[in-house]
Amino acid sequence: MFSSVLVIKRINVIKLFLRTTTKSFHRTMAGRTQKVLNVAEKNDAAKAIADVLSNGRYRRREGFSKFNKIYEFEFNILNKQSSMSMTSVSGHLLELDFKGSYQKWHSCQPVALFDAGVEKHCPDQFKDIKRTLEREARQCQVLVIWTDCDREGENIGTEVIDVCKAVKPNIRIYRARFSDFTPQSIISACCNLVQPDYRSSDAVNVRSELDLRIGAAFTRFQTLRLQKIFPNVLSDQVISYGSCQFPTLGFVVERYKAIQNFIPEMFHKLKVSHETEDGRVDFNWKRNRLFNHTACLVLYQIVMENPIARVISVNSRPKSKWRPQPLETVELEKLASRKLRINAKETMKIAEKLYNQGFISYPRTETNKFSKDTDLQGLVQLQTVDPDWGGFAAGVLQRGPNPRNGNKTDNAHPPIHPTKYTDNLQGNEKRLYEFIVRHFLACLSQDAQGQETTVEIDINGEKFTAQGLMIIARNYLDVYPYDKWNAKMLQGQTSPPPLLTEADLIALMDKHGIGTDATHAEHIETIKSRMYVGVQQDGRFVPGELGMGLVEGYDAMGYEMSKPHLRAELEADLKLICEGRKDPKVVLAEQVQKYKQVFIEACAQALKLDEALGTYFGEAQPFAEQDMNPVQVSPPVRPCPQCGESMVIKTRKDGGLMLSCMGYPDCRAVAWFPANVLEATRDEAICTRCQPGPVHKIKFKFKRGSVPPIIPLDYLGCIGGCDETVCELFNLNYLRPQQQQHRGAGGGGRGRPVQPSRGDAGRGRGNTRGNGPSPPRGGGNNGGPFPPRGGGGIARGNAPGVARGGSNDRRNNRGAGNTRDFHTGNQSNMGFLGVGDSGRTPLGAVQSSGDGNAVVCICGQNARLLTVRKEGNNCGRQFYKCSRMDNPCDFFLWADDNAPSAGDAFSVGSNNSYNSNNHNNRSTYNARGDGGNGNFNNQPGFGDRQSHSSGDGFGGDGFDGDVPQCNCGQPSVTRTVQKEGNNKGRQFHTCVKPRGEQCGFFQWADAPDNSGAGDGFRGGFQGATGRGRGSRGGRGRGRGNRSNSSDGDWDQENSRKRKPPKCGACGEIGHTKRGCRNKEF
One CATH from 1.10.290.10, 3.30.413.10, 2.60.120.10, 3.30.499.10 for 329-446:
1.10.290.10
Average pLDDT, the chain: 74
Q: Assess whether pLDDT exceeds 80 at residue 457.
A: yes
One CATH from 2.60.120.10, 3.30.2270.10, 2.70.20.10, 3.10.20.30 for 271-317+451-464:
2.70.20.10
The mean pLDDT value for 707-729 works out to 84
* Band (24; pLDDT cuts 50, 70, 90): low
The mean pLDDT value for 1067-1081 works out to 65
Q: Assess whether pLDDT exceeds 80 at residue 782.
A: no
* Band (927; pLDDT cuts 50, 70, 90): very low
CB 70 within 8 A of CB 86: yes
CB 742 within 8 A of CB 1022: yes
What pLDDT score does 900 carry?
Answer: 41
Distance CA 1050, CA 1057 (A): 7
What pLDDT score does 623 carry?
Answer: 64
Q: Assess whether pLDDT exceeds 70 at residue 903.
A: no
* Band (393; pLDDT cuts 50, 70, 90): very high
Distance CA 143, CA 660 (A): 43
**Closest residue by Cα to residue 465 from 335, 344, 313, 278:** 313
Distance CA 644, CA 661 (A): 9
What pLDDT score does 815 carry?
Answer: 37
Residue 340 burial (10 A CB sphere; 0-12, 13-18, 19+): middle
| Chain CA centroid to CA 828, Å | 43
Helix, strand, or coil here: 651? strand
Higher pLDDT, 36 or 1054: 36
CB 467 within 8 A of CB 489: yes
Q: Taking the CA of residue 684 as centre, how many other CA atoms within 13 Å lie in the half-sphere pointing to its CB?
A: 0
Q: Is the dihedral of CA 524, 529, 533, 538 positive or negative?
A: positive
Distance CA 212, CA 218 (A): 10
The mean pLDDT value for 367-371 works out to 88
pLDDT one-digit tens code per residue, 832-853: 233 333 333 333 333 333 444 4
H or E segment and range at residue 142: strand 142-146
pLDDT one-digit tens code per residue, 190-202: 999 999 999 999 9
Q: Assess whether pLDDT exceeds 70 at residue 1013.
A: no
C-alpha distances out from residue 205 to 211, 519, 767, 1014, Å: 10, 15, 55, 57
CB 608 within 8 A of CB 556: yes
**914 counts as catalytic:** no
H or E segment and range at residue 1005: none
* Band (441; pLDDT cuts 50, 70, 90): very high
695-702/714-717 β-pairing: antiparallel
Backbone angles phi, psi at 1041, to 5 degrees: -100, 145
Helix, strand, or coil here: 175? strand
* Residues composing the chain: 1081
* Band (946; pLDDT cuts 50, 70, 90): very low
* Omega before residue 694 within 30° of 0, cis: yes
Q: Assess whether pLDDT exceeds 80 at residue 65.
A: yes
C-alpha distances out from residue 1050 to 744, 766, 788, Å: 17, 20, 19
CATH class of domain segment(s) 17-196 = alpha beta
Helix, strand, or coil here: 1081? coil
613 residue type, one letter: L
818-820/827-829 β-pairing: antiparallel
Distance CA 610, CA 606 (A): 7
Distance CA 474, CA 486 (A): 11
Distance CA 1057, CA 1069 (A): 16
Distance CA 545, CA 549 (A): 6
Burial code (b: 16+ CB inside 10 Å, e: under 16) for 666-688 equals ebbbbbbbeeebeebebeeeebe
Beta bridge partners of 145: 39, 175
Distance CA 518, CA 204 (A): 13
Question: 460-464 long-range CB contacts below 8 Å, 24 or more apart?
Answer: 460/302, 460/303, 460/305, 460/306, 460/307, 461/302, 462/270, 462/285, 462/286, 462/287, 462/299, 462/302, 462/303, 463/286, 463/312, 464/270, 464/272, 464/283, 464/284, 464/285, 464/286, 464/309
What pLDDT score does 518 carry?
Answer: 74
Distance CA 171, CA 272 (A): 81
Sequence-distant (≥ 6) Cβ neighbours of residue 60 within 8 angstroms: 69, 70, 71, 72
C-alpha distances out from residue 246 to 393, 536, 573, Å: 45, 20, 19
What pLDDT score does 141 carry?
Answer: 95
Distance CA 251, CA 259 (A): 13
- Asked which of 155-159, 503-507, 622-626, 673-677 is least confident by mean pLDDT, the reply is 622-626
462-473/638-639 β-pairing: unpaired
pLDDT one-digit tens code per residue, 507-528: 998 888 888 777 888 889 989 9
Is residue 411 left, alpha or beta, with left meaning phi > 0 and alpha meaning psi from -120 to 50? left
Backbone angles phi, psi at 633, to 5 degrees: -130, 155
What pLDDT score does 788 carry?
Answer: 38
Burial code (b: 16+ CB inside 10 Å, e: under 16) for 726-736 equals bbbbbbbbbbb
Global confidence as pTM? 0.59
DSSP state of 528: H
**Where in the chain are the domains?**
17-196, 271-317+451-464, 329-446, 633-735, 762-767+775-839+901-1045+1063-1081, 841-887
Find the catalytic residue in 71, 241, 256, 362. Answer: 362
1025-1029/793-797 β-pairing: unpaired
| Chain CA centroid to CA 384, Å | 52
In the chain, the percentage of residues whose pLDDT exceeds 90 is 27
